[in-house]
């Protein structure tokens, strides 16, 4: 990582990290997967979040249905099921830690209750095709471990990144190691470290730049790679995971825009790149 802190050179006393009483954010997620020398898949999804802060570091997120701007037509039946599944988390209520990262999901029982109702509706699809049954069973496990899965979800991590400026009011470059889920090794967790630099900008707000990379020893994934990919890709595993992001806060110290890139690479023949663009809708 190449970022060097210049926090001590800036007057950041006005940076309070605030939320508007009811703020709407537009989210665009664009991903690209290569296989060999060509494109394997490309998707673009849009969604809207309404964020409503409560008392004592509690916050509620109300999300719209995902809109598929570009997607693989063969996946359409699964997208239709996923739309039904996502209704369980249309409203997620969180408690935040002092560094503004996610502590826990506080409306777990409500989410599980909605999921139980959705599962009854999805039973029809389970009877139609065995692969749908497996898909639904995977989500059943996820909803029964909702704290872990919201906490590991990269979109939630990006929105609630633990900038250490908020730990005790002092500046430090040390962001706690984060755990997320691999895209290319589904179900596998990976740990990554990150550093940041914060500065004032010309508009009277603040800009945060951060970079991160995996802390994993790639040998951990060797067996999974040999089982799932080796025959197709031939090449040896050369695992890499990297992130880079830019956060812009307005003069009220409210998050107004994020552009966040993720790159996960097995080797030169299989690379996944994803861009998250989060923007505060102007009132």
pLDDT, position 167? 58
**Which helix (H) or strand (E) covers residue 251, if one does?**
none
User: In residues, how long is the chain?
Assistant: 283
Q: Are 207 and 248 in contact (CB under 8 A)?
A: yes
- Asked whether the CA dihedral 237, 228, 275, 216 is positive or negative, the reply is negative
| Alpha-carbon torsion angle 15, 16, 22, 28, nearest 10 | 50
Q: Are 182 and 188 in contact (CB under 8 A)?
A: yes
With 60 as the cut, is the pLDDT of residue 216 above it? yes
Q: Which residue has the higher pLDDT, 217 or 169?
A: 217
pTM of the model: 0.91
pLDDT, position 169? 52
Q: How many CB atoms lie within 10 A of CB 113?
A: 12
Q: Which has the closest alpha carbon to 254: 271, 222, 226, 279?
A: 279
The tens digit of pLDDT for each residue in 5-49 reads 554 455 666 777 789 999 999 999 999 999 887 778 899 999 999
What is the average pLDDT across 71-94? Answer: 88
Least confident of 37-51, 119-133, 225-239, 268-282: 119-133
pLDDT, position 168? 53
Place of tokens 């739309």: 83
Q: How far is CA 168 from CA 97, 99, 101, 164, 172, in A?
A: 12, 9, 14, 8, 10
């Amino acid at each position: 990582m190449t970022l060097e802190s210049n926090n001590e050179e800036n007057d950041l006393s006005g940076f309070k990290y605030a939320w508007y009483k009811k703020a709407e954010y537009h989210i665009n997620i664009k991903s690209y997967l290569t296989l060999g020398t060509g494109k394997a898949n490309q998707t673009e999804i849009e969604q809207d979040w309404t964020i409503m802060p409560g008392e004592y570091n509690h916050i509620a997120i109300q999300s719209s249905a995902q809109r598929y701007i570009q997607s693989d037509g063969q996946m359409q039946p699964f997208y239709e099921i996923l739309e039904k599944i996502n209704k369980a988390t249309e409203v997620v209520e969180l408690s935040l830690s002092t560094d503004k990262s996610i502590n826990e999901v506080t409306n777990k029982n409500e989410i599980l209750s909605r999921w139980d109702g959705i599962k009854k509706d999805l039973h029809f699809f389970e009877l139609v095709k065995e692969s749908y049954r497996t898909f639904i069973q995977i989500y059943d496990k996820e909803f029964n471990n909702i704290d872990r899965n919201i906490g590991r979800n990269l979109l939630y991590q990006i929105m609630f990144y633990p900038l250490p400026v908020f730990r005790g009011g002092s500046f430090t470059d040390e962001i706690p190691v984060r755990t997320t889920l691999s895209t290319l090794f589904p179900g596998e967790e990976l740990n990554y470290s990150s550093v940041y630099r914060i500065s004032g900008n010309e508009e009277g707000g603040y800009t945060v730049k951060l970079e991160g990379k995996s802390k994993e020893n790639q040998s951990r994934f060797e067996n999974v790679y040999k089982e799932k990919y080796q025959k197709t890709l031939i090449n040896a595993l050369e695992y890499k995971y990297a992130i880079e992001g830019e956060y812009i806060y307005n003069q009220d110290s409210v998050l107004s825009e994020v552009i966040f890139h993720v790159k996960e690479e097995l080797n030169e023949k299989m690379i996944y790149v994803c861009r998250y663009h989060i923007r505060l809708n102007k009132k």
